[in-house]
Amino acid sequence: MFDFQTVIRYTTQHSRHFIGNVFMQKRFSLGTVILLIVVSVIAGSMLNQLISGDTIYDQLHKFGDVLNYTEKYYVEDVDTGKLTESAINGLLNQLDPHSVYIPAAEMQRVTEDFQGSFEGIGIEYQVLADTLLVVAPIAGGPSEALGIQSGDKIVRINDSSAIGITQEGVQKKLRGPKGSRVKVSIVRAGMAGLLDFDITRDKIPIYTVDASFMINGQTGYVSVNRFAAKTHDEFFAALSKLSGEGMKRLVLDLRANPGGYLEQAYKLVDELMPRGRKIVYTKGRRPEFDDEYVSSGAGKFKDVTLIILVNAGSASASEIVAGAVQDWDRGLIVGETTFGKGLVQRQFDLKDGSAFRLTTARYYTPSGRLIQRPYDQDKAKYARAAYERHEVEGDNVTHSEERDSTRPVFKTMGGRIVYGGGGITPDYIVKSDHLTEYTVQLRSRNVFLQFADKYLDRHGAELKSQYGKDPSRFAEEFDVTGAMLADIQALAKAAGAPFKQEEYDKDLHYIKAFTKAFIARGIWGNEGSSRVMLREDGQFQKAMALFPETERILSNLSSLK
């Protein structure tokens, strides 16, 4: 720590050295030298008094005393590291809900998530009934290159049984530095004996664009699950591919996207905007945290008709994207009001490998809206409030839904009224359906995954032969039969979810969709499951129906600019 007492000592010593030189060089009179000595002593005394009254250092000494006395005299042995972390958490809890401490044990996972890669064998997996199931090999990873498939079951790792392995055990045994090797033995449906694979670990990308495909001849769909280091690159690649397939319209799905890097959000919007348009700006207490992001004009997709899907789980960087698009009347927003996080955090790394994120600025949309909700309540209430709004479904292009609100009023560039201080409220409000408790239990107890695993063991080759590389045709044609549903009910009962007829009847179309989606995911990955679920997705279906009106509304607004 920087010691101000040392500074005082250093200053005093060098003052004496200077005075000695003065005497030796005989440049000043004795009276002048005495005056300099008096001034030096008074200045040193005032500086010492100033330092001793410094509130920060007083409080640091106070905390040090408490920790020291506790370690010495408490009735039981104490873990001072744990006490210090609790104190840090208590400090940050007094600020805002998004200033947080990250223990060293969690930092690797957090870093991997936002850097967009980790080192390992490259599989999505699930520990299912004591068995390590390969849900899907990650594209471009070493497992995919060796031919490991969805539905494979890893039963041995480096000649030790993997039966009964835990989630933590999977991480420990299968992840490792690039270039290191691990041997796995796999059981595959329809094949006798074990299949042995000697895998060389590599850097594995964690994709943030988890699905992108054409819905029809002119409409593309892209889902972005967070904003990490490579999000813009992935987004650009996805749109370039879809544009080559004829895309003129785009549904950009940011639902449940919690945010991430602000710069990546800016780059994504930059692809969709003409030159010279402010996308977002930040303001902090200190001027070095003030910044402004303006579109470069280099974007390749400025003319694509755009609809963005959002919900209460869309936060931070997602709200930057939605807010910029709404403020510039560049597209329409469909779904539910977003979370309402308009604070920018900076991460400070600590010596022991831990870190903390401190809010250093607020961000504002182009019209000047602060999206941050009030947070003068405990964190649990603050988090719940985003999901407990009472919104009226329907056309909200004029934003009359918020008309009686106390939130500040702003205008889009086309003259529409919008509101700040509480997330991005859509131009068309469409609520998501709520599943019954029975269906929630089916999902939480992995019933659909268990069924899909068993079904693909028996029929996977047949489905691949019938539908090939066409998940769209599977989504349209494949039917979930009564016999399949009976198996679902039996698996649910065995998993501790007793049958509830009324709830089953209410959610039957969703139960069929989830069953079908998990089968599709086992063959075609996220594109397969997304194509199935979008057919039952009311928010997405409304977006698709709104494209003609979107083009009309935006055309009229453009004429007003």
- Active-site residue among 202, 327, 427, 507? 327
CA distance 86 to 92: 10
Rg of the chain over Cα atoms, rounded to whole angstroms, equals: 30
- How far is CA 457 from its chain centroid? 34
Rounded to the nearest 5 degrees, what angle is found at the Cα of 271, between the Cα atoms of 361 and 367? 45
CA distance 293 to 281: 6
CA distance 354 to 105: 8
52 - beta bridge partners? Answer: none
**Amino acid at position 333, single letter:** I
Residue reference for tokens 């993997």: 162
- Active-site residue among 153, 230, 267, 341? 341
CA distance 185 to 194: 6
| 98 and 340 Cβ atoms separated by less than 8 Å | no
At 17, list the tokens: 């050295």
> How crowded is residue 275: how many other Cβ atoms within 10 Å of its Cβ?
12
CA distance 355 to 295: 32
Query: How many secondary structure helices (H) and strands (E) does the chain include?
Result: 19, 22
> How crowded is residue 466: how many other Cβ atoms within 10 Å of its Cβ?
13
CA distance 78 to 85: 13
At 521, list the tokens: 């995911």
CA distance 251 to 283: 31
Label residues 233-243 b or e (16+ Cβ within 10 Å = b).
ebbbebbeebe
Q: Identify the helix (H) or strand (E) that includes residue 283.
A: strand 278-283
Query: Taking each helix axis from N to C terminus, what angle separates 4-25 and 30-52, rounded to the nearest 10 degrees?
Result: 180
* Bridge-based pairing state of the strands 428-429 and 331-335: parallel
- Active-site residue among 150, 212, 295, 316? 316
> Is residue 143 flagged as an active site residue?
no
CA distance 387 to 500: 26
Query: Which 3-state string (H, E, C) describes 76-135?
Result: CCCCHHHHHHHHHHHHHHCCCCCCEEECHHHHHHHHHHHHCEEEECCEEEEEECCEEEEE
> Is residue 327 flagged as an active site residue?
yes
> Is residue 202 flagged as an active site residue?
no
Q: Closest by alpha carbon to 178, among 95, 235, 117? A: 117
Active site members:
316, 327, 341
